Amino acid sequence: MKLETKRVALTGGIIWGASLFLTTLVSTYTGFAASFLNGIASIYPGFNISLPGSIVGLIYGFLDVFIGVYIFAWVYKMVGAK
């Protein structure tokens, strides 16, 4: 079976973006995972624990992991792993 780089990257981006979005929404109302999200805020400019921050996190999270997984999958294919 052939590894499809774009699909793998898209899947990773969707999972991380959605996870960050949902975790931020839950934390907005309950304070759950606030320490973790404050750490993420130091990486993603403009991200904070709020409703607008959850949307910023969704976008940053998707792009960050999409690019990272795309590069990883591309290198994986280039080295000839089967």
pLDDT at 82: 59
Whether 5 has a pLDDT exceeding 70, the answer reads yes
What is the crossing angle of helices 51-78 and 5-30, to 10°? 150
Stated as kind and residue range, the H or E segment containing 53 is: helix 51-78
Whether 81 has a pLDDT exceeding 80, the answer reads no
Query: pTM above 0.85?
Result: yes
pLDDT at 80: 80
Rounded to a whole number of angstroms, the distance between the first and last alpha carbons of the chain is 8
Average pLDDT of the segment spanning 8-19: 98
Three-state DSSP class for residue 75: helix
**Considering only 1-5, 10-14, 27-31, 49-53, which range has the smallest mean pLDDT?**
1-5
Average pLDDT of the segment spanning 15-42: 97
